[in-house]
Structure 1
Amino acid sequence: MGVDLGDILGRKKVSIEDLTGSWIAVDGFNTLYQFLSIIRQPDGTPLMDSSGRITSHLSGLLYRMTNLLESGIRVAFVFDGRPPELKAGTLAARAQMKETAEIQLQEAIATGAESFRYAQAATRINSEILCDSIRLLDAMGIPYVQAPSEGEAQAAFMAIRGDVDYVASQDYDSLLFGAPRVVRNLAITGKRKMPRKNVYIDIPPEVIVLEEELTRLGISREQLIDIGIMCGTDYNEGLQKVGPKRALKLIREHGCLEAVLDALGERIDNLQEIREIFLHPEVTESYDLRMKRPRIDEIIRFLCEERDFSEERVRKAAERLNASYRAGQSTLERWL
């Protein structure tokens, strides 16, 4: 889940229209998890084809991404590569949590109890889900980037270079990696049902502007990284009883994490190595962010013939996607 700095960072609610004309680097794994977690049957079962293959992520990619592209937004998916060695403990803990959730899910199904939250917690992205996602993105003409390591670091790098305007992620790690502007809730904008309640709430996009927040908080990006490390990241557990607000207070009082640790009599292993992951992550300059003409027949063949989607619905979405591509090309030509 990354570091949670939501208690100290301001977020501005925006509309989809406010993002029109922008290029957005989308955290691929983060977005697929959202689709797999949210696009489900009432009992928590994911959407599946007749062979039992999960299709929730494909539904999210086709319909929700088409909505964004139709609004004049251009997206590029960025997928994680090889994780840093310091992330091994976090990945092992996540795997254990999913195994526990799977056991609880089966028990809930057997007893007829509420199972939706366990189904969400047990969500996994396997190689088939990833390959199918990339196959659909390619057919839709949406560019994707394979990061050498952390996807959010790669997305932040692309934003720092000015190749994209925003990084889209539910996590706050992108800011620690230096992303100038982060947009949240991009893939789940609209009405969303509250867990275990028959209540729906509006989920608008939110934008966080890094420099504005650093100025407001009176800290540097390096100090924000130290705050994140105190709270706990994918690479360390953090300090006991230290959340974002207390971490901010400690940084303001002592200036840097080393001074904080001295004052508290604490230590964090691999501190400098963790900082380096955020300050100088492994990234690549080898990527192509051009939208391509969607291949409508291929989209229909894949989703309808192989994954049992409704041809009428898929064809309508694909035609909307093609229209948005043509509109984008016309706009580009006017500026050339």
Structure 2
Amino acid sequence: MGNADLRELAALSTVSLDDVRGSVVAVDAHNWLYRYLTTTVRWTRDEVYTTADGEEVANLVGLVQGLPRFFEHDITPVFVFDGGVTELKDDEIESRREQKRKAKEKLEEALERGDKIEAARLESQTQRLTTVIQETSRELLDLLDVPYIEAPAEGEAQAAYMARRGDADYVGSEDYDTLLFGAPLTLRGLTSKGDPELMDLDATLEAHGITWEQLVDVGILCGTDFNPGVKGIGPKTALSAVKEHGDLWGVLDARGLHVEFADRIRDLFLDPPVTDEYEYDADIDPDVAAAREYVVDAWEVDPDEVARGFERIEESLVQTGLDRWT
């Protein structure tokens, strides 16, 4: 999920969604979905999004509640889904699995003692993007005519690549690693109620007098999804060291340090597996009636939980002149 230490170095400012009206945002789909998934699970009764067969599709509630923000501001989201997992990320994935396992154990204990508040908090921590969640998310996006792309590897790397090519105006993600992947402009907080944050790569580099490559070196020293970082080195120390010694290799040599697979990790940020074989239409034409039927009838989601979300989508389409669904 990226290293939050980079926040100390990132050039951040608050923007209004009206300021980005009419733009295209390449959304890190897994990041966005997970944010809504955990929130929905934590604050919503599980019977709202659980089928008679016990299948949990809280993602459908999250999508219906989250997509109106884009539509209401005439913003086209292009969801970018992760492809194959990078081998170097295996340790990070295993660490997350262990965290979820521990959370599940604590959840069972909380349920046994009747602590519903703690149980809700812990249940949100055990969520994962299951095969059903992956499939139903894509199917609902299809019905709402929201474009999505399958990345060959990291979704945020593909999204950053699209933004660098000019095929998207912004990347949408909570991860600070979008800076390391070279995303020119990232919108954070798209799953929150308030105004989003704008993270500017060029402004970040200019503020610290470094290159993109050097910023990646700083990130590697602090830690990324592909490596744990060097103990005792935070963002400010890493920045100072990289500026003093020129690059990651200079810092490692000067301090007698070693980062396993450092060259491969560096390449994963500077030259990640991406594809330019994609296309999408920014002029959406949602079938709201079919989408509602899919969510409520096919997947047994409580209609009251998604009613306002669908209403907002319908209202926004009329306001922007996209009322061809009627």
Do both share a fold (TM > 0.5)? yes
* Alignment partner of 1:309 is 2:313: no
Task: Kindly state the Cα deviation for residue 224 of structure 1 after the two structures are TM-superposed.
Answer: 0.4
Question: Does the Cα contact within 8 Å between 1:47 and 1:55 map onto a contact in 2?
Answer: no
**Taking structure 1 as reference, are residues 46 and 158 closer, same or farther at Cα in structure 2, changes over 3 Å only?**
farther
Question: Is 1:49 matched with 2:50?
Answer: yes
Range with bigger deviation, 206-215 or 320-329: 320-329
Corresponding residue for residue 121 of structure 2 = 117
Q: Which residue of 2 aligns with 1:334?
A: none
The residue number in structure 1 matching 2:80 is 78
Deviation at 1:116, TM superposition (A): 3.3
Distance 1:328 1:251 in 2: 54
Let me know the Cα RMSD of the aligned residues: 2.1
Match runs of 1:116-155 below 5 Å: 116-155=120-159
Q: For residue 11 of structure 1, report the CA deviation from its aligned partner.
A: 0.9
Letter matched to residue 12 of structure 1? S
Give the 3 Å change call, closer, same or farther, for CA 102–36 of structure 1 in structure 2. same
Give the Cα separation in 1 of the matches to 2:51 and 2:16. 37
CA distance 1:162–1:328, change in 2 (3 Å)? farther
**TM-score normalised by the chain length of structure 1:** 0.88
Counterpart check, 1:295 vs 2:292 = no
Provide the C-alpha distance between the structure 2 equivalents of 1:322 and 1:245, rounded to a whole number of angstroms: 46
Q: Which residue of 2 aligns with 1:320?
A: 315
Answering whether residue 206 of structure 2 is matched by residue 206 of structure 1, we say: no
Following superposition, the deviation at residue 261 of structure 1 comes to: 1.0
Mapping 1:17-28, distance limit 5 Å? 17-28=18-29
Separation of aligned partners in 2, 1:328 and 1:264: 63
**Residue 268 in 1 paired to residue 270 in 2?**
no
- Letter of the aligned partner of 1:119 in structure 2? E
Retained in 1: the 8 A contact 2:72–2:313? no
Identity of aligned residues (%): 37
Match 1:184 to one of 178, 183, 188: 188
Q: Using a 3 Å threshold, how does the CA distance of structure 1 residues 324 and 126 change in structure 2: closer, same or farther? A: farther
Q: Structure 1: which 5+ residue stretches go unaligned?
A: 191-202, 330-336
CA contact (8 A) 1:28 1:79 kept: yes
Helix, strand or coil at the partner of 1:272: helix
Report the alpha carbon displacement of residue 112 of structure 1 after superposing the two structures with TM.
2.3
| Structure 2: 5+ residue stretches without partners | none
Q: Which has the higher contact order (CA 8 A, sep 6+)?
A: 2
Letter in 1 for 2:301: D
| One-letter code aligned to 1:316 | E
Could you list the structure 1 runs, at least 4 aligned residues long, displaced by more than 3 angstroms after superposition. Answer: 40-47, 311-315, 324-329
Contact preservation (8 Å) 1:69, 1:324: no
Figure out how many residues of one structure are paired with residues of the other and give that number: 316
CA distance 1:44–1:271, shift in 2 (3 Å): farther
